[in-house]
Structure 1
Amino acid sequence: MLGFGTPSQSLGVMDAEAASRLIAAAADATLVMDGAGVIRDMAFGNADLAAALGGRKAWLGRALADAVAEDSRSKVHDMLGEVSAQDMPRWRHLNLRAADGASIPLLCAANRLPGTDRVVLFARDLRLLASLQQRLVEAQQAMEREYGRLRQAETRYRLLFQMSGEPVMVLDAASLRVLEANLAADRIFGAQPSFLDAFAPEDRARVEALLATVRAAGTAEERRVSMRGTRREALLSASLLRHERSSLFLVRLAFLGGDSGESPIPESRARLADFVESTPDAFVLTAADGRIITANPAFLELVQLPNEATARGEELSRFLGRQAVELDVLLAQVRGRGPVRLFRTRIRGDQGAEAEVEVSAASVLDGGQQCFGFTIRDIGPRPAPIETGPPTLPAAAGQLTELVGRVPLKELVREATDVIEKLAIEAALELTNNNRASAAEMLGLSRQSLYVKLRRYGIGDLGPDEES
């Protein structure tokens, strides 16, 4: 044990009172135990830990082995068996059980008082360290999930980049060197010494002027140009990208007259259809009345149907939405405000399985008829966000807790029911964009019952027809 060199000179002669204050200040908690491991006295150097453990009286007369969690009892026996007055104490991690059942992590070391059977246990509070470690683990897991999503997104966009029937390239803005090109661009520009050599000689100056304008203004520009040799006309589009300290051009060619050269449009659409079929996200197309027209295998797997034929003609509301009216609300949003992104709801399978999903929807035209396309992603269970402070209650619920002990339980329950009912009505009105008929259907109420409750809670303004 490496102790003081001359303790009698440096520390002087101390009485028991001075020694106790010094020992108490040396750790967050200090326990004095007898030879059997029973706690005989206790001191705290940390007020928060003292409050968490319930003070000294809660521990006096208890055996330390009985006060720790099951996984720490063997450590206590080993520590008391190895303790001595001369050796350097060994620090061990113990989980102490508080009076309320919570587990409090402590870093402990024991030393025997010379000439007695008494053992002094020094404990350091590890709760802050444990909390930081837990947050670090959760942050690392969140980063891994985010990296996974980014890799998947990059894979999807690269696949779309290669599937495009139009030539698309990424150029270095300074040298016009081709950095990336899809298959359609490689067939046209791959044999050319440089990017400009693919165009007719009289149009190269126009291409250079276009790129100079994009570089200076930073906005997308278009020019009509002719290709070298074939004299095919195309619309050249360019936009500026910033990557770290360098500038890049994103260049796209759209051949005019319906002639795309080496990569015809039907083949491109066929590839896109193949992608929709193989994507892990569910895709479904419905008619204006919400009946399914077509769906990809991922959607059939989510709703537990064996094939597309069994899904065709079914109402999407049979599977999507917590209630039937929820899909009506979603379709109304798409009709009135355009595409909807990341609408969170539930999907139900034909065999009873359910899953949390995020839905994006948009309106499309098919042969002049309005249809709706939905992409559905199974988000599964997600970890709760890291709490940085004590949980908070809504204001009304917080006021209810203050009534505990002041009013009878029966009245308290009635007040709580009113608060919940009011919150549910407000949430339904917000979800349906203040459409009271849809809100009543979502809540399982008649319109008149909803109007009565609106008047009761003073929510919104009722018209003359609604007052009756």
Structure 2
Amino acid sequence: MLTRKHSVDEKRPFADSGEVFGSIGADAARKLAMVAGDVVLVLDTSGKILDASFEEEAFPGFANWVGENWLDMVTVESRPKVMEMLAGARKGETQHWRQVNHPSKDGDIPVKYAVVSVNGGERAMAFGRDLREFGRIQQRLLQVQQSLERDYLKMRHVEARYRLLFERSREPVLIVEANDYRIREANPAAHALVGARAGTLVDKKLPGLFSRKSAPVLTAHLGSALASSSVSPVSVTLDKGSKDVEIAASGFRQDRRQFLLVRLNDGEWPAESDDSRLLDIIEDMPDAFVLADAQMQIVSANAAFVEMVRAAGIDQLRGADLSTFIGRPGIDLDLIVGQIEKEGEARNVATVLRAMNGEDDEPIEISAVTNRGEEPHFGFVIRSIARRMRDLPPGSEDLPRSVEQLTDLVGRMPLKDIVRESTDLIERLCIEAALLYTSDNRASAAEILGLSRQSLYSKLHRYGLGNLPAEAE
């Protein structure tokens, strides 16, 4: 860091330096040097440190510097700066502050130095100022700046969402300044209702949109809305077209200013559709629900699914591949889609769900349907079965399902029989898992196990799995 701040040539000189400094003794000069810098080095012409003054607690590694060359006490990239300062001191040049870094076990220590020639050039003194606190302040400032930028970006995202909601709303809405009833914002539905071109309502007075006979009612309603949070809507007449509409206003404050949120209703749009009530129920249902397109990319999902996959919100999931979270990629969802195409629906398909934070796979069941339109979409209802599986009592005929249970057989049967029992156990568990994954679809189970259908039937017969026809037994 090269700076002229605090340099000699930028400062006003003393008027009579001889009277003051000419009489300074050695003790006074020593004190002046010690208070002039956090680190003060006495150097010879080659840069060897003859003496040093510093606070040992703040600079614990500097105690062994005396007798060493200053160049050896700095980092590689700082050596050219030290050489320049020493060369300037030998020439008697005015010095400017230069930052150099000293290596230490806790990291580099930044110090800002200026070198002054003394005793006719036979000695030089390097005055250093510790920059660590300055660096910590800079780091805190950077963290605050980054936090502000993150908050600003978050606010921009929130503003974009509410702007989209404001623009897409079918309800005519206006934002009106309370002191002069001037319109500050108006959505497309409001422009359409009053018969105005897009964007032309901004900066117009709200009372000008209504007939003169409605003025007293409108003024009283707006005044009441500013004074109370519970004001009943009133009926007014539009100036253009003489159409009767219902107006409802509510007050709010922003940036120390008072505004009115004005909603208009001409009776041609429902207050709440059946579809919106259905969407609210889906959003609040305890089972997870996902809507995906034909490419199995997530279009929407309810809060339960967002929580199951540990996502920050639905915006993080939109457009993501559903197979990223459900089952084995390229297998489970394909089997579900195949079952839907064949039977019109898929019921209680057992698979697993993966969370975004890398947690262990969670056993789940999926039921799914499709709308079979020109642009098909698939709806998936997902429920966790981990708790239900934990609550099931163990069956008396269950085979060993862990290494500990298998090792209990040691001493009760020969090793070769235990190995054979283990092999049979693993084979049976894999077949059971394949049948669960495919909802007992034998052809699909044989495919994912890498077996022929005949081999699978033979093993089903061997282990007594599935409902085999009598002739197969």
Picking from 148, 151, 154, the partner of 1:149 is: 154
Partner of 1:35: 45
Cα separation, partners in 2 of 1:304 and 1:287, compared to 1, 3 Å: closer
* Counterpart selection for 2:89 from 80, 83, 90: 83
Q: Distance in 2 between matches of 1:75 and 1:164?
A: 65
Q: State the alpha-carbon separation in 2 of the partners of residues 158 and 221 from structure 1.
A: 26
Name the residue aligned to 2:99: 93
Q: 2:29 aligns with which of 15, 19, 40?
A: 19
1:338 is matched with none
Asked whether the equivalents of residues 354 and 362 of structure 2 are also in contact (C-alpha less than 8 Å), the reply is: no
1:426-467, Cα deviation, whole Å (9 max, x unpaired): xxxxxxxxxxx99xxxxxxxxxxxxxxxxxxxxxxxxxxxxx
Shift of residue 296, structure 1, vs aligned partner: 7.5
Residue type at the aligned position of 1:11: F
> Is 2:355 the partner of 1:319?
yes
Matched, 1:260 2:269: yes
CA distance in 1, matches of 2:97, 2:45: 19
Give CA deviations for 1:85-143 in whole Å, capped at 9, x if unaligned: 74322221111223x24221111011222345322111111222222222222222222
CA displacement 1:334-357 (0-9 Å, x = unmatched): xxxxxxxxxxxxxxxxxxxxxxxx
Q: What is the aligned partner in structure 1 of residue 416 from structure 2?
A: none
Residue among 128, 131, 137 paired with 1:132: 137
TM normalised by structure 2 equals 0.54
- SS in structure 1 of the partner of residue 110 of structure 2: strand
Alignment check: 8 A CA contact 1:32 1:40 kept:
yes
Name the TM-score, length of structure 1 as normaliser. Answer: 0.54
Matches within 5 A, 1:54-133: 54=60, 57-84=63-90, 86-98=92-104, 100-115=105-120, 117-133=122-138
The residue number in structure 2 matching 1:390 is none
1:87/1:199 Cα in 2 relative to 1: closer, same or farther (>3 Å)? closer
Q: Is 1:285 aligned to residue 294 of structure 2?
A: no
- State the Cα distance separating 1:304 from its structure 2 match: 6.9
| 1:220-239 → structure 2 map (5 Å cutoff) | 220-225=230-235, 227-228=237-238, 235-239=246-250
The answer to whether the 8 Å contact 2:351/2:363 transfers is no
Gaps of 5+ in 1: 270-275, 329-370, 373-436, 439-468
Write the distance in 2 (CA, Å) between the matches of 1:14 and 1:209: 85
SS of match in other structure, 1:152: helix
Distance in 2 separating the partners of 1:327 and 1:211? 57
Q: Distance in 2 between matches of 1:201 and 1:110?
A: 84
Q: 1:196/1:42 Cα in 2 relative to 1: closer, same or farther (>3 Å)? A: closer
SS at match of 1:52: coil
CA root-mean-square deviation:
4.8
CA contact (8 A) 1:207 1:223 kept: no
Q: Which runs of 5+ in 2 are unaligned?
A: 1-7, 278-290, 293-297, 327-331, 337-348, 365-380, 383-389, 392-473
- Is the Cα contact below 8 Å between 2:210 and 2:236 reproduced in 1? yes
1:184 and 2:189 aligned = yes
The CA deviation at 1:169 is 0.7
Q: % of aligned pairs identical?
A: 28
* Cα distance, 1:205 vs structure 2: 4.2
- Cα distance per residue 1:242-291 (max 9 Å; x no partner): 244543210112454xx229x9979999xxxxxx99xxx99523789x99
What amino acid does structure 1 have at the position aligned with 2:253?
R
Is 1:9 the counterpart of 2:19? The answer is: yes
Q: What whole-Å deviation, never above 9, does each CA across 1:277-323 have from its counterpart, x for those lacking one?
A: 9xxx99523789x999xx98952655674899949889785235664
- Cα gap change, 1:118 to 1:174, in 2 (>3 Å): closer
Is contact 2:101-2:110 (8 Å) kept? yes
Distance 1:66 1:219, change over 3 A: same
Q: Secondary structure at the match of 2:317?
A: helix
Supply the AA of the counterpart residue of 1:30. V
Instruction: Please name the residue that 1:349 is paired with.
Output: none
Equivalent of residue 207 in structure 1, options 218, 227, 231 = 218
**3-state DSSP of counterpart to 2:58:** helix
CA distance in 2 between counterparts of 1:136 and 1:324 reads 40
Change (3 A) 1:195 1:61: same
Amino acid corresponding to residue 182 of structure 2 in structure 1: R
Q: Go from structure 1 to structure 2 and tell me whether the alpha carbon gap of 1:172 and 1:5 turns closer, same or farther (over 3 Å shift).
A: closer
SS at match of 2:31: helix
SS in 1 for 2:262: strand
Q: Judging changes above 3 Å, is the alpha-carbon distance between structure 1 residues 64 and 302 closer, same or farther for their aligned structure 2 residues?
A: farther
Is this contact kept in 2: 1:165–1:268, CA < 8 A? no
The separation in 1 between residues aligned to 2:188 and 2:21, in whole angstroms, is 83
Q: 1:195 to 1:29 in 2, by over 3 A?
A: closer
